[in-house]
Amino acid sequence: MHIVVCIKQVPDSAQIRVHPVTNTIMRQGVPTIINPYDLFSLEEALRLRDTHGGAVTVLSMGPPMAADALRKALAYGADRAVLLTDRYFAGSDTLATSFALSAAIEKIGRDFGTPDVVFTGKQTIDGDTAQVGPGIAKRLGLNQLTYVARIGSLQLEERTITVERRAEGGVQVLKTQLPCLITMLEGTNDIRRGSLNDALRAARAEVITWSAAEAGIEDLLKCGLRGSPTVVKRIFSPQPRSEKAAILAVADDNPRDLAEALIEDLMKRQPHLEADLAELAQR
């Protein structure tokens, strides 16, 4: 069994800065970490490998320093690491990123065996779009299972997998054929503590590094800024609200009196709300 986990090295969100002219994230001088959502996918991949055998390949696209995140993944227990790095990838949005990662996954399949499962995190903390995982699935023609809370069973003989997916109305139990792509939700597991042997292996392991050409990408117009139709107009930190929280005083603290006081105060603050509600009631 072969599993590919896509991870991303991201700036620590507590120390993030935005370039005032280009509106892009300034990564220089900011500590980096593995995207926290990706760790849930990595742990789930390692659990499947431990149960069914095979290998876990971690893949990342980024600057050369992203090799640090890949070595960290190796220290957790991944079997091999691939870094996709090239100046042509600079400034990629989710469309260009999914294009490059899809090409790299195809090459991984040719070199190390076709992946049975591709894992990604639900989203990244620097972009929060949750688009790259589904974008990879679409480009590779994989069945996609998003927002997965638990993997129920995996039958290699039948080439099927059953998962529990969190939805607005509750939990969906889905079964699909392999190969597939899974995006894991947060809080689904806890990343393991890597063993000493894994840490020593990660320190001396070779991180396989591919340029765009080595990954088999021929159309460079689909990479980086040239392949990114997304235009960021402005990025800013939300300003703290000047008004303070209001305190409602009621004679009795029973739920009914509290609710009536809250509704009355809300109607005073939003005088048009009563008319809007009356209009909705007449429809």
Rounded mean pLDDT, 177-187: 94
**What was the pLDDT predicted at 157?**
92
**What was the pLDDT predicted at 16?**
65
Paired tokens of 204: 């001396």
3-state secondary structure of 172: strand
| Angle (nearest 5°) at CA 149 between 143 and 153 | 65
pLDDT band at 72; cut points 50, 70, 90: very high
Ordered structural domains, the chain, with CATH: 2-227 (3.40.50.620), 241-283 (no CATH)
pLDDT at 221 over 80: yes
**What was the pLDDT predicted at 268?**
84
Tens digit of pLDDT for each residue in 4-62? 999 999 877 666 666 667 666 666 667 788 999 999 999 999 999 999 999 999 999 99
pLDDT at 235 over 80: no
**What was the pLDDT predicted at 34?**
92
Burial of 55 from C-beta contacts in 10 A (0-12 / 13-18 / 19+): middle
Rounded mean pLDDT, 255-279: 83
Does the predicted model carry a pTM greater than 0.75? yes
4, 142 Cβ separation under 8 angstroms: no
Distance CA 136, CA 121 (A): 12
Distance CA 83, CA 69 (A): 10
**What was the pLDDT predicted at 261?**
83
Assign 3-state DSSP to the chain and report helix, strand, coil percentages, each to 5.
35, 25, 40
Mean of the per-residue pLDDT values for the chain?
88
